[in-house]
């Protein structure tokens, strides 16, 4: 098993930024890899075009949507996060966006995101865990903003379809002041 996996090695500050304890698979199932990628690309598109209902449908009932602040492996039960939504708060977020009076998304941000560097990581349960990088170009009334993240998903097959149980978006500059982030990241 050990030969099939690698962990992040390096100084503490790197572990703080990149995350501790993640075990990357060296071998993987080609078909699963493809399916996971297609899922994430679709999720990205739904976010880019603000298809709120279709995006909300991607979540499982026990979902966690987490965007930490000030690091990668913070404790969301102790530290402030930019977003730390359970399923009902995800739905509240969507309902707010759908009122049409969420001013910071009226007009909605114009978005295009590029997702890459997929790697499957070791999972402690039956969920499929995947990491990837994202770059998001946003333009809105304020101007143009580039966002970049390391993103981690737990995906699960439910009735033959993939669903998201967990999405963690670690913005690379989450230890700095950042502009309003009211689109779905």
Partner 1 sequence: MEQYAHSKWKKLIQPGLVHGSLYYDEEIFKEEVEKIWFRTWVYVGHVSEVPNVNDFVTKTIGPMPVLMVRDRNNEIQLLLNRCPHRGNAVCVQEKGNRARFTCPYHSWTFSNTGDLINYAFPDGYQGTDKSKLGLAKVARIAIYRGFVFGCMTEEGPTLEEHLGGAKRAIDQLCDNSPTGEIEISAGFLRHRTRANWKFILENECDGYHPGFVHSSIFSVADSAIGSLYGSDAVAVTRSFGNGHTEVDPRPEFRRRDEPLSWFGTSADRLPDYTRQMNEAYGEERARQIMIDGAPHVMIFPNLFIAEIQIFVIQPVSANESIQHSTAIQFKGAPDINRRLRQQTMGSVGPAGFLLADDTEMYERNQRGLEIRNPEYLYLKRGEHRERRDEDGFLIGHSTDDLPSREIWRHYLSIMEAQ
Would you count residue 54 as binding partner 1 (CB under 8 A)?
no
Would you count residue 95 as binding partner 1 (CB under 8 A)?
yes
Would you count residue 82 as binding partner 1 (CB under 8 A)?
yes
Among 45, 50, 102, 156, indicate the residue that binds partner 1 (CB under 8 A). 102
Find where tokens 């993640």 sit. Answer: 22
Paired tokens of 121: 């990581």
Reduced 3-state DSSP string for 25-91:
ECCCCHHHHHHHHHHHHHHHHHHHCCCHHHHHCCEEEEEEEEEECCCCCCCCCCCCEEEEEEHHHHH
141-160 residues in contact with partner 1 (CB under 8 A) are 141-143
Three-state SS for 107?
coil
8 A C-beta contact, residue 42 and residue 134: no
Would you count residue 128 as binding partner 1 (CB under 8 A)?
no
Would you count residue 99 as binding partner 1 (CB under 8 A)?
yes
Q: How far is the CB of 105 from partner 1 (least distance, A)?
A: 8
Residues in touch with partner 1 (CB under 8 A): 67, 69-70, 74, 77-84, 89, 92-93, 95-96, 99-104, 141-143, 175-182, 185
């Amino acid at each position: 098993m050990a030969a099939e996996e690698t962990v992040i090695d390096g100084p503490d500050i790197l572990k703080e930024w990149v995350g501790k304890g993640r075990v990357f698979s060296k071998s993987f199932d080609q078909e699963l890899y493809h399916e996971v990628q297609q899922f994430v690309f679709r999720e990205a598109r739904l976010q880019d075009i603000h298809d709120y209902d279709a995006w909300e449908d991607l979540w499982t009932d026990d979902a966690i949507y987490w965007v930490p602040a000030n690091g990668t492996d913070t404790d969301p039960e102790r530290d402030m996060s930019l977003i730390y939504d359970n399923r009902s708060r995800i739905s509240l977020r969507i309902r707010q966006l759908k009122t049409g009076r969420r001013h910071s998304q009226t007009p909605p941000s114009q978005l295009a995101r590029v997702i890459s560097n997929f790697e499957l990581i070791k999972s402690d349960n039956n969920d499929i865990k995947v990491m990837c990088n994202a770059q998001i170009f946003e333009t809105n009334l304020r101007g143009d903003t580039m966002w970049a993240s390391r993103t981690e998903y737990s995906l699960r097959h439910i009735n033959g379809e993939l669903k998201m149980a967990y999405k963690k978006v670690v913005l690379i500059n989450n230890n700095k002041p950042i502009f309003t982030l009211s689109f779905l990241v």
